[in-house]
Chains A and B, each alone.
Chain A
Amino acid sequence: SQQGEEDPQALSIQEGENATMNCSYKTSINNLQWYRQNSGRGLVHLILIRSNEREKHSGRLRVTLDTSKKSSSLLITASRAADTASYFCATDAGKSTFGDGTTLTVKP
């Protein structure tokens, strides 16, 4: 089974709103990464947060990590139609193990 599991499976919001998606995992990790995948394309790395970090920012992205709850969240602020994609979290225990993703739709 997959190590990382995203929630919700699907999210639909209006342009300008914030989008929050969550990731839960089962075992200890060195780091957790978030990726974006546009339909039919390869994955693009967004942000990596290490196990000793609690929060990280990159542009409109904010990632938190709670190792005690084995969970992470990705917040996209002021969403744009171009943010429409699937978002995956991946944990590292030697290699990355992906969940099934959250499909985000941002309506213009």
Chain B
Amino acid sequence: DTGVSQDPRHKITKRGQNVTFRCDPISEHNRLYWYRQTLGQGPEFLTYFQNEAQLEKSRLLSDRFSAERPKGSFSTLEIQRTEQGDSAMYLCASSSHMGLAGTYEQYFGPGTRLTVT
């Protein structure tokens, strides 16, 4: 396993269309995170999973965003009715988290750059 992969790397869509991104984490990692990053800013947390359970979702995340990790392996992030403000880099990360000792280091994928026209 060579790391976290994301597909597609770039997506251009028209306002109002739905888009879906995929993330394949490092195979032995049980946690998977989605972040959004705009130019000049740090990654903004969207949601994360432990195995197939979605443990937390940002309050900033609109109802148009949904994420799944059905078998505890890969994850998808869907944005419905895209808006121009959704244009950003969407980053996925995974980590191996055991017990209650806190989050272990996250390994990031290359990101999917979304442009909404």
Residues on A lying within 8 angstroms of B by beta carbon are 2, 4, 30-31, 33, 35, 41-45, 48, 50, 88, 92, 94-101
In the bound complex, do residue A31 and residue B102 qualify as a contact, i.e. CB atoms below 8 Å apart? yes
Mark interface residues in B33-44 (1 if CB within 8 Å of A CB, else 0).
101000011111
In the bound complex, do residue A95 and residue B105 qualify as a contact, i.e. CB atoms below 8 Å apart? no
Interface window among B62-70, B76-84, B108-116: B108-116
Interface size class of B (residues with CB under 8 A): 20 to 34
Residues of A within 8 A of B4 (CB): 42
Mark interface residues in B88-108 (1 if CB within 8 Å of A CB, else 0).
000101000000011111111
Given the contacts A97-B45, A100-B42, A48 and B108 also touching, CB distance less than 8 Å: no
Chain B residue with the shortest CB-CB distance to A48: B105
In the bound complex, do residue A30 and residue B108 qualify as a contact, i.e. CB atoms below 8 Å apart? no
A22 to chain B, nearest CB (A): 15
In the bound complex, do residue B43 and residue A44 qualify as a contact, i.e. CB atoms below 8 Å apart? no
In the bound complex, do residue A31 and residue B108 qualify as a contact, i.e. CB atoms below 8 Å apart? no
Query: In the complex, A61 Cα to B54 Cα: how many Å?
Result: 35
Residues of B within 8 A of A94 (CB): 55-56, 103
Query: In the complex, A2 Cα to B40 Cα: how many Å?
Result: 14
In the bound complex, do residue A45 and residue B105 qualify as a contact, i.e. CB atoms below 8 Å apart? yes
Query: In the complex, A97 Cα to B56 Cα: how many Å?
Result: 13
Query: In the complex, A30 Cα to B55 Cα: how many Å?
Result: 18
Query: In the complex, A101 Cα to B38 Cα: how many Å?
Result: 12
In the bound complex, do residue A96 and residue B106 qualify as a contact, i.e. CB atoms below 8 Å apart? yes
Q: Top 10 A-B pairs ranked by shortest CB distance?
A: A30-B102, A98-B42, A42-B108, A45-B105, A92-B103, A43-B108, A42-B110, A100-B42, A98-B43, A31-B102
Partner of B42, one of A2, A33, A50: A2
Known: A31-B103, A42-B111, A45-B107. 4 other contacts (CB 8 A): A41-B111, A42-B108, A43-B91, A95-B48
Query: In the complex, A54 Cα to B108 Cα: how many Å?
Result: 26
